[in-house]
Amino acid sequence: MKSNWWKILGILILIYTVIVGMSVPLKPGIERADSISMGSNGNNASSISSGENHVIKVIGYNTNYKDNTNKAWLRLDTIGAVAATKFETISETEANVHFTIPTIFPARDTFQLLSMVIYNKEDGPSILPDAFSIRTNQRSNSNLTEWTVDPITNITDKPGMQFPYRSVLNETIRNTFFHIPLWFSMFILLLISIIYSGKYLKNNNIKDDIIASSLVNVAVLFGILGIITGSIWARFTWGTFWTTDVKLNMSTVAMLIYVASLILRSSINDVDRRAKLSASYNIFAFAALIPLVFVIPRLTDSLHPGNGGNPALGGEDMENTLRMVFYPAIIGFTLLGLWMTSILIRYESLKDRWLSRK
């Protein structure tokens, strides 16, 4: 029992990941906001005009707009904000918000972005970053009475543990606990495998080859599961199971390199030759994996976070509530992978003993 504590720990962590990851609710958020007084172009960053009255139709997610404490602002970074003149509730998740947009803006670029902020005591704050774009040539360095500096104060979050709401991702943000940890665990297993491949090339101990090949087998399984979960995620966020996204394609190429190594290994009958070729190929495959997955996607545009100028899951995206499940999930999947590897090592060792007796 003492020697199996890490297996029990891994299972408990994965149970925690599934239960907490799927049951904790998302924070209230703003799904979209469109200026119905000027016509909507269907985008979250629709244009509005300065010096005019606008009615903004807001569609919320998991919100309670029937709460009579609703307040709303259009915020210009940290410089200031314009408060709504009227908040008309249509339903729990829909409202029409009236704004009078100032004519004169603080001295900045002529093109500026306004974020939508809505607050009530039931939901806490909901924010849609860069909800509207505006272009104005009338700027001033003097104090602007139409803009209130940081008026969004004395607001509190909704009590209880909640995952962040992210537009487009919505409930699929929960896949963060499965898709990404599977890939993290895959890299950890592959890193351990090249250590044992190097040990085999140095000592010619067949046990090191069995360990390395078993780790690769489990890692490839995790990689395929990572591609499948990523493809399902893409269907709900990008609208298709597969795109020409460079990271998706490069990750697939990397997996095909490892699949080719498994096919090559199974085609060689001589034990020593198979082990040496597998060890050498494994080191080459890992060396190819790094530029394919981490370097090339950063050199071009990519839909994946952290590539092509697209920010990674950090800062506002990876909030502490997500980290409470995300990091344990990596540990849990890694321990599960090591457990699966230990079973495969036993199988391969028994198989080699049986064949050597024949």
pLDDT at 102: 84
* Dist. CA 238–CA 71, nearest whole Å: 32
* Dist. CA 87–CA 55, nearest whole Å: 10
pLDDT at 350: 84
pLDDT at 143: 63
Q: Do the bridges between strand 46-47 and strand 86-89 make them parallel or antiparallel, or are there none, so unpaired? A: unpaired
Please report, in tens digits, the pLDDT of each residue of the chain (358 residues total): 567 889 999 999 999 999 999 999 999 999 989 888 644 444 444 778 888 888 999 999 999 999 888 999 998 876 688 889 999 999 999 999 999 888 888 766 778 888 899 999 888 889 898 888 887 777 776 666 667 755 566 677 777 788 988 878 889 999 999 999 999 999 999 999 999 999 999 999 999 999 999 999 999 999 999 999 999 998 888 888 888 888 888 889 999 999 999 998 888 888 889 999 999 999 999 999 999 888 888 777 766 665 555 445 544 457 889 999 999 999 999 999 999 999 999 988 887 777 666 5
One-letter amino acid of 58 = V
pTM: 0.84
pLDDT at 300: 76
pLDDT at 110: 75
pLDDT at 43: 43
Q: Do the bridges between strand 53-61 and strand 71-76 make them parallel or antiparallel, or are there none, so unpaired? A: unpaired
CATH 2.60.40.10: which residues of the chain? 29-140
pLDDT at 307: 55
Helical packing angle, 206-237 and 320-357, nearest 10°: 140
| Distance, CA of 185 to chain centre | 16
CATH architecture of 29-140: Sandwich (2.60)
Q: What is the DSSP string of 97-143?
A: EEEE--SSEESS-SEEEEEEEEEETTTEEEEEEEEEEEE-S-EESS-
* Dist. CA 229–CA 247, nearest whole Å: 15
Q: How many residues are recorded in the chain?
A: 358
